[in-house]
Structure 1
Amino acid sequence: MKIVVCDDSKAMRMIVMRMLKQTEYADAEFIQAEDGLQGVAAVKEHEPELVLSDWNMPNMSGIDFLRTLRAEGIGVTFGFVTSESTAEMREIAIKAGASFTIAKPFTAETFSDVMATTPL
């Protein structure tokens, strides 16, 4: 399985990947992106089964990243891992085509629970 992890913080990308390696996704291939622009390019190049993205990033935000993919007909499973966890943000994300949101801080168990109910 290929997973794009998109966050402007390298430390956060490492944390997300470490958490996923503690779940059933230990053998996944991880592709990193620093912002939505890199994320779009990574999705087009690698055709992942899953994208995990931060919401607030320079150059292209996570929500614009998601909207760009959907506008281009790319239906990859997309989830947000973000400190932006208001009900309004979750509603915007789901309406734009996100499958789930995970609020920071999180645990490996959080990822397992969410991924168990997310079709890939």
Structure 2
Amino acid sequence: MKSCLVVDDSKVIRKVARHILETLDFEVREAADGREALDSCLAQAPDVVLLDWNMPVMSGMDFLRALGDSGIERRPKVVFCTTENGMAYIRAAIDAGADEYVMKPFDRDTLESKLQIVGMA
């Protein structure tokens, strides 16, 4: 079974994403900020990370940079999931190592298509 780490400071977003991902046969873990997410990835890397941009403690961008610097053996695919929709944000995310980008709010079909693009669905 594929695994996904949902990283978002909103419990509601994590719950919605979990529900969608479980219908797509993912095993789901959650983290409320980038620091929790990094610790989780270092303990056991998921196949894919669904990552929020704006979070307390450690932002999505800071997490992405730290993940790249961590030397993790099997780097998960990273799908940024955020309300930030400017091309500069999207370019910055891709340049920092994100594999794909999805806008909030998202639905099952949208998320599934992004997961297909990164080879995870």
Q: TM-score, normalised by structure 2?
A: 0.91
Instruction: Note the C-alpha offset of 1:116.
Output: 1.3
Q: Which runs of 5 or more residues in structure 1 are unaligned?
A: none
Partner of 1:114: 114
- State how far apart, in whole Å, the 1-side matches of 2:113 and 2:97 are: 20
Report the residue type matching 1:59 in the other structure. V
- State how far apart, in whole Å, the 2-side matches of 1:8 and 1:115 are: 21
The question of 1:57 aligning with 2:55 is answered yes
CA contact (8 A) 2:22 2:28 kept: no
- Find the residue that maps to 1:67 and give its secondary structure: helix
What are the superposed Cα offsets for residues 97-119 of structure 1, whole Å, 9 maximum, x if unpaired?
Answer: 10011001111000111111113
Partner of 1:98: 98
Partner of 2:28: 30
Q: Which runs of 5 or more residues in structure 2 are unaligned?
A: none
- State how far apart, in whole Å, the 1-side matches of 2:119 and 2:66 are: 21
Report the residue type matching 1:18 in the other structure. H
Q: Deviating runs (4+, > 3 A) in structure 1? A: none
Report the residue type matching 2:106 in the other structure. F
CA contact (8 A) 2:33 2:58 kept: yes
CA contact (8 A) 1:2 1:46 kept: no
Instruction: Note the C-alpha offset of 1:21.
Output: 2.7
Partner of 2:21: 20
The question of 1:44 aligning with 2:45 is answered no
Report the residue type matching 2:63 in the other structure. F
Q: TM-score, normalised by structure 1?
A: 0.91
Task: Calculate the aligned-residue CA RMSD, in Å.
Answer: 1.2
Instruction: Note the C-alpha offset of 1:85.
Output: 1.6
**How many residue pairs end up in the alignment?**
117
- Find the residue that maps to 1:30 and give its secondary structure: strand
What are the superposed Cα offsets for residues 63-110 of structure 1, whole Å, 9 maximum, x if unpaired?
Answer: 100110001133221111111121101000000110011001111000
